[in-house]
């Protein structure tokens, strides 16, 4: 009897244990699994915060760069134009008309939010928006002093209080070549403030700053902190941000953790933009993680109730649906930009029209069933101007598209249409197979005529000496430096016009300008097409002749050039013969010294040439052996 009772008790105990076991094991397994998942999710979440912070700073910085590039381009072109006006002794009224036009154009076309172009020109204050105050001494303003103090460099000044608008502004300034004239371009605070909030709406967990290298705030997305000096701030948070930026070891995104009065941890992302400015995003990591913990508890409860699978499936389905809808919306938005958009099925060699605003192109596309390749050839032959046709025919060759787009999502080319309007054609990858071959691609064209012609004009003005029509110093030296970096050896010469002051004093500055223009013309015709010729300034010129390594080879070109100088026909000079003093130095492909050394050598030889009357060429005598072509 006792034995039976004992056996029954054991069975009951075993049943109880089996019933209780799932409630012990499964919660433990769930807690372990959830803890592992939670830690991994926290890491991914932090990584995502860093990515978003970095991406936000990149997008805001890109907005600043685009905006500041407009200012930079406008200011540089204005500097070149005004310096030319000053050199030509044009009236103050002409200068005022020019800066007024530039200021009005910026306000209407670019919507920059600027306060116009202004400055001191030959001692007179001129403002592009017509501001002409009484008892106003611009030379006592900070923008003028900073420009003079930096001696011809572009300087970003401010923030400071603008007397005209009664608000804070920042200004880009530059001292002109005459040493007293200053040009300035003012930007209001609201413009900078707007750019810090253009990508992400401000809240207590995110902040976007624009500051200079000294830690002075230009704009803050959350607070009006213009002029706040983070470098010397007594606030540990602000001082910590500045110090973290200065000691980030080259990283663009990094963490700022608590210490020295600072509570919590923050993710800082920094991007450098034009004029030595920084765009900084600050994200409160602790605040966002506290939200994550609350979300994780809720999510864990759902998992515990067995809803994880359903939730994931729903999220996946929703994600796909949102992506599909987003792609459709994006495609519609993009289609409004482009003149023509076609979706090409590479596997079936067929295409589908998405949009087409050009009547002639639409007629070609809708005229019968053809393969995609044949249609592309027909479009090129009918829609592209003859000079661009061969290049575009290669571009639309679907047989080589996979090879040309390897590792890329898009490729572009610019061309002239049959109406002589500049267009840009683009291929955009839509889908690829498992081997990386393109399944579907979009072909699109857009009109870029205004952009192209303006870009070409700006490039010409930026690179060309306005008097002689050859390279100016900046563009010419840049091209020579590029060749030296590529180890393209050759001969470099410097020369100036002998007694050029005598020509100006006795024949007049107009005749002196004729001499300089004639020299520029002779350089274009005497030197080879691949040679780089440039005017350094005044009566000083230079040239670089690739692949010329011997005095004999150099003299062959220089004799031709000097002979053409002596034959210049300038009626006002009469029998006066123009002579030049030339210094030449060689750069071998095996050399490693910089352009400055090459310039110094040629300059020393020019000085030696000037000791002898007439057009003399002096070559720099190298201590090493002569370079042999083909080494």
pLDDT at 493: 97
The rounded radius of gyration (Å) of the Cα atoms in the chain is: 35
- Which is more confident, 248 or 501? 501
pLDDT at 15: 53
Encoding tokens for residue 569? Answer: 């026909």
**From 17-31, 181-195, 348-362, 596-610, the region with the lowest mean pLDDT:** 17-31
pLDDT at 587: 96
Encoding tokens for residue 314? Answer: 């729903």
At 79, give phi and psi (nearest 5°): -60, -50
Residue 58 pLDDT grade (very low, low, confident, very high; cuts 50, 70, 90)? confident
Encoding tokens for residue 573? Answer: 């000079």
**Which neighbouring-strand residues pair with 429?**
441
Closest listed residue to residue 238, CA positions, set 253, 250, 227 = 227
Tens-place pLDDT, residues 206-238: 788 888 878 888 777 777 777 788 888 887 777
Please give the average per-residue pLDDT across 69-73, as a whole number: 79
Tens-place pLDDT, residues 468-499: 999 999 999 999 999 999 999 999 999 999 99
The CA distances from residue 576 to 513, 515, 516, 562, 566, in Å, are: 15, 12, 15, 15, 10
Q: Percent of the chain, pLDDT > 90?
A: 27
Cβ atoms of 168 and 160 closer than 8 Å: yes
* Residue 39 burial (C-beta neighbours within 10 Å; 0-12, 13-18, 19+): exposed
pTM above 0.85, yes or no: no
pLDDT at 631: 41
CA distance 95 to 99: 6
Q: What is the dihedral of CA 435, 437, 439, 441, to 10 degrees?
A: 140
Tens-place pLDDT, residues 541-576: 999 999 999 999 999 999 999 999 999 989 899 889
Please give the average per-residue pLDDT across 507-532, as a whole number: 93
Which residue has 């700073």 as its token pair?
Answer: 57
pLDDT at 531: 95
Closest listed residue to residue 203, CA positions, set 230, 221, 226, 224 = 221
Per-residue pLDDT at 456 exceeds 80: no
305: how many CB neighbours lie within 10 A of its CB?
8
* Residue 448 burial (C-beta neighbours within 10 Å; 0-12, 13-18, 19+): middle
DSSP 428-486: EEEEE-TTS-EEEEEEEEEE-HHHHHHHHHHHHHHHB-TTTSSB-HHHHHHHHHHHHHT
pLDDT at 630: 43
Encoding tokens for residue 519? Answer: 């020299």
Residue 310 pLDDT grade (very low, low, confident, very high; cuts 50, 70, 90)? low
Q: Is the dihedral of CA 334, 336, 341, 344 positive or negative?
A: positive
Per-residue pLDDT at 504 exceeds 80: yes
Cβ atoms of 372 and 427 closer than 8 Å: no
Cβ atoms of 423 and 338 closer than 8 Å: no
Tens-place pLDDT, residues 592-620: 999 999 999 999 999 999 999 999 999 99
Tens-place pLDDT, residues 165-188: 677 778 889 999 888 899 988 877
pLDDT at 505: 93
Please give the average per-residue pLDDT across 339-358, as a whole number: 86
């Amino acid at each position: 009897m006792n034995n039976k009772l004992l056996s029954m008790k054991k069975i009951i105990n075993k049943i109880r244990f089996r019933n209780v076991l799932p409630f012990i094991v499964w919660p433990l397994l769930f807690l372990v699994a959830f803890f592992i998942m939670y830690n991994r999710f926290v890491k991914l979440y932090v990584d995502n915060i860093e990515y978003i912070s970095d991406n936000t700073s990149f997008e805001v910085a890109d907005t600043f760069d685009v905006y500041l590039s407009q200012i930079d381009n406008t200011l540089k072109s204005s500097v070149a134009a005004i310096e030319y006006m000053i050199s030509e002794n044009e009236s103050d009224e002409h200068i005022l008309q020019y800066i007024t036009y530039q200021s009005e154009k910026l306000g209407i076309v670019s919507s920059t939010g600027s306060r116009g172009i202004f400055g001191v020109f030959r001692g007179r204050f001129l403002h592009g928006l017509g501001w002409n105050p009484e008892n106003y001494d611009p030379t006592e303003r900070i923008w003028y002093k900073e420009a003079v103090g930096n001696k011809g460099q572009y300087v970003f000044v401010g923030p400071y209080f603008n007397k005209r608008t009664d608000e804070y502004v920042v200004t880009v300034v530059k001292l002109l070549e005459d040493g007293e004239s200053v040009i300035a371009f003012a930007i209001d605070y609201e413009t900078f403030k707007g750019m810090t909030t253009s990508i992400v709406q401000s809240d207590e967990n995110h902040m976007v700053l624009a500051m200079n290298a000294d830690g002075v705030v230009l704009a803050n997305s959350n607070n009006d902190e213009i002029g706040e000096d983070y470098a010397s701030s007594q606030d540990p948070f602000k001082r910590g941000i500045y110090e973290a930026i200065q000691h980030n070891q080259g990283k663009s995104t990094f963490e700022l953790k608590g210490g020295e009065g600072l509570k919590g941890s923050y993710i800082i992302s920094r991007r450098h933009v034009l004029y030595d400015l920084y765009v900084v995003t600050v994200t409160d990591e602790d605040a966002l993680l506290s939200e994550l913990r609350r979300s994780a508890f809720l999510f864990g409860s759902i998992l515990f109730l067995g809803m994880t699978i359903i939730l994931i499936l729903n999220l996946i389905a929703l994600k796909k649906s949102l992506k599909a809808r987003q792609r459709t919306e994006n495609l519609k938005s993009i289609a409004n930009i482009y003149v023509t958009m076609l979706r090409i099925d590479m596997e079936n060699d067929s295409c589908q029209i998405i949009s087409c605003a050009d009547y002639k192109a639409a007629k070609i596309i809708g005229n019968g069933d053809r393969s995609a390749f044949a249609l592309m050839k027909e479009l090129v032959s009918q829609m592209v101007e003859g000079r661009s046709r061969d290049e575009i025919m290669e571009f639309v060759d679907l047989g080589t598209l996979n090879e040309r787009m390897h590792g890329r999502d898009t490729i572009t080319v610019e061309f002239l249409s049959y109406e002589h309007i500049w267009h840009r054609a683009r291929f955009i990858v839509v889908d690829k197979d498992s081997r990386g071959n393109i399944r579907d691609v979009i072909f699109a064209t857009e009109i870029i005529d205004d952009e192209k012609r303006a870009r070409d004009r700006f490039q010409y003005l930026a690179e060309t000496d306005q008097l002689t029509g050859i390279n100016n110093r900046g563009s010419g030296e840049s091209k020579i430096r590029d060749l030296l970096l590529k180890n393209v050896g050759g001969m470099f010469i410097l020369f100036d016009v002998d007694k050029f002051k005598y020509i100006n004093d006795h024949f007049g500055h107009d005749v002196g300008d004729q001499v300089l223009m004639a020299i520029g013309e002779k350089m274009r015709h005497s030197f080879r097409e691949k040679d780089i010729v440039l005017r350094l300034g005044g009566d000083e010129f230079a040239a670089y002749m690739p692949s010329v390594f011997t005095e004999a080879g150099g003299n062959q070109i220089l004799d031709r050039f000097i002979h053409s100088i002596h034959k210049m026909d300038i009626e006002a000079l009469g029998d006066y013969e123009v002579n030049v003093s030339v210094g030449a130095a060689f750069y071998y492909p095996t050399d490693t010294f910089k352009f400055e050394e090459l310039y110094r050598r040629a300059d020393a030889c020019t000085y030696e040439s000037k000791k002898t009357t007439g057009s003399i060429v002096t070559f720099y005598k190298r201590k090493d052996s002569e370079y042999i072509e083909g080494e």
